[in-house]
Amino acid sequence: MLTYYITDRTQFAGTEAERRDQLLQTVRNATAAGVDFIQLREKDLSIRDLESFARQVLSVIHAAGRSRLLINHRTDVALAVGAGGVHLTGEDLLASDVRALAAKSRPAGKFLIAVSCHSAQQVRLAEAHGADFAVLAPIFEKVSAAGTGIGLEELHRAARADPEPGLRAEAGDTRGGFPVLALGGVNVERASLCAAAGAAGIAGIRLFQQSLDLPALVRSMRSL
């Protein structure tokens, strides 16, 4: 199973400087523990501040391990700082357009594109446009006071098997199909349910950011 840590420094206490320091330490711990991907999702930062902070995060990652950094939303920042890729939302360019843009400065296969999806249909669209994987959400969390997550059946539909093993081979997972990572209310206990439904990995904020033992968490995910 792939592991995908999504950052949120606002969950930490203290001043802005203290929050950033705590986030950098968590990134250091996550990459040292073997987390596959880290998505820098500090949406409130200006482009210039995001770029500067992304360079700090990359420096920590390169010193501590081999995680790949994806920048949320900002393809330009991801390319400028040399990140491993970008995480696209539904309001961003299509993955095919981003691929064409990245190809001007990155060799084929050296820039990953993840896409946020909320249904199996959106996952198929992301796949058709050449994304590397999708992050499907919310699996368990409530969308609103009157609603629930999209559920394991939708995850199963989204994660249907195809012949090519794709990206999951990087984590030793040889199952076929377009990789779909589960996000939203996924804890250690629920992760096994997501794996059984066909998820290629688990994404989360609190799951990784508040973990007291990241190496053990990663090992538990790998064993699913």
Inform me whether the pLDDT recorded for 173 exceeds 60.
no
CATH number of 2-222: 3.20.20.70
In sequence order, the 6+-apart residues with CB closer than 8 A to the CB of 135 are: 4, 87, 114, 115, 116, 117, 180, 181, 183, 203
**Three-class DSSP category at 113:** strand
Quick check: 118 and 136 in contact, CB under 8 A?
Answer: yes
Output the six-digit token pair for 101.
């843009």
pLDDT given at position 19? 98
DSSP 6-61: E--GGGS-S-HHHHHHHHHHHHHHHHHHT-SEEEE--TTS-HHHHHHHHHHHHHHH
Tell me which long-range contacts 139-143 makes (C-beta under 8 A, separation of at least 24): 139/182, 139/183, 139/184, 139/185, 139/186, 139/190, 139/194, 140/184, 140/185, 140/186, 140/190, 141/184, 141/185
How many angstroms separate the CA atoms of 95 and 113, rounded?
A: 7
pLDDT given at position 163? 38
- Per-domain boundaries in the chain: 2-222
C-alpha 175 chain-centroid distance: 19
180-182 and 68-72 beta bridge pairing: unpaired
pLDDT given at position 112? 97
How many angstroms separate the CA atoms of 115 and 99, rounded?
A: 12
Q: What is the pLDDT of residues 25-63, one digit of tens each?
A: 999 999 999 999 999 999 999 999 999 999 999 999 999
Mean model confidence pLDDT for the chain = 91
pLDDT given at position 90? 85
Q: What is the pLDDT of residues 123-171, one digit of tens each?
A: 999 999 999 999 999 999 765 555 689 999 999 999 985 534 445 444 4
Inform me whether the pLDDT recorded for 200 exceeds 70.
yes
